[in-house]
Amino acid sequence: MTDKNYREQITEYDCGPTAFVNALSYLFKRSDIPALAIRHIYKDTLDKPASVGTSYEAMTKLAKWLESYKKEDFSLNVFIKESENVVFRGSGLNNKSSCGVLFIYFDDSSGHFITVLYEKGDYIYCFDPYPRIKIKSKKKEWEWLDPQKFEGCNLKIKRDYINEFKSHEIFRAGKQSERYFVLIRRCKK
């Protein structure tokens, strides 16, 4: 059971800001998330035409701003990982003080941002802000989850599957040159 309420995106194109809002919801109590942080999430993203959404550049700008913004109960370190540096090894997301925003493919042509909450066993556990679609993985490379049973996660993806440098298949991080991940760590008081 989780006390976190992650958000679904409200349009086809706001997965980037929604994934960031969900990351902050994972890392902080609601009362510790500054309104200015939420304002910047929406102000700095959605920089592409309405049919595309958010660029890597906008996500990077936002991540850097969030890292520079400090309040008494709100402080982050961010690490932008690209290309061959986006590989999950099973050790980077195993505590409640870190999570990330990952670019994946949703189909043959559509990119998408999801929130990666933790790694456990052979899987990474995520919250996909897109409303659940009625497809299933044939080989169990990924699986829809009940968020009430998996600490708010609605998706798990096999680490070996997401780490393969392949592109344009559902829930893959893409070819080496296409990969993008923002690792977010809450700083201790």
What stretch of H or E contains 155?
strand 155-158
Q: Give the pair of three-digit tokens for residue 80.
A: 């932008």
Q: Where are the alpha helices (DSSP H) in the chain?
A: 15-27, 35-44, 56-68, 159-163
Strand pairing category for 123-127 and 180-186? unpaired
Percent of residues, the chain, with pLDDT higher than 70: 96
What would the two tokens of residue 87 be? 């590989």
Q: Is the Cα dihedral 133, 144, 1, 77 positive or negative? A: negative
Taking residues 132-159, report their average pLDDT: 89
Sequence-distant (6+) residues with CB within 8 A of 118 are: 93, 94, 95, 99, 124, 125, 151, 153
Residue 72, C-beta contacts closer than 8 angstroms, at least 6 positions apart: none
Half-sphere exposure of 10 (CA within 13 A, CB side): 4
User: What are φ and ψ of residue 63, in 5° steps?
Assistant: -60, -45
Q: With CA atoms as reference, report the closest residue to 115 among 1, 5, 18.
A: 18
| pLDDT per residue as tens digits for the range 10-62 | 998 999 999 999 999 999 999 999 999 999 999 999 999 877 889 999 999 99
pLDDT at position 1 is 41
pLDDT at 132: 81
CATH class, 15-186 region? alpha beta
Closest alpha carbon to 15 in 108, 125, 130: 130
- pTM summary value: 0.93
Q: How confident is the model at residue 141 (pLDDT cuts 50, 70, 90)?
A: very high
Average pLDDT estimate for 98-107? 90
pLDDT beyond 50 at 126: yes
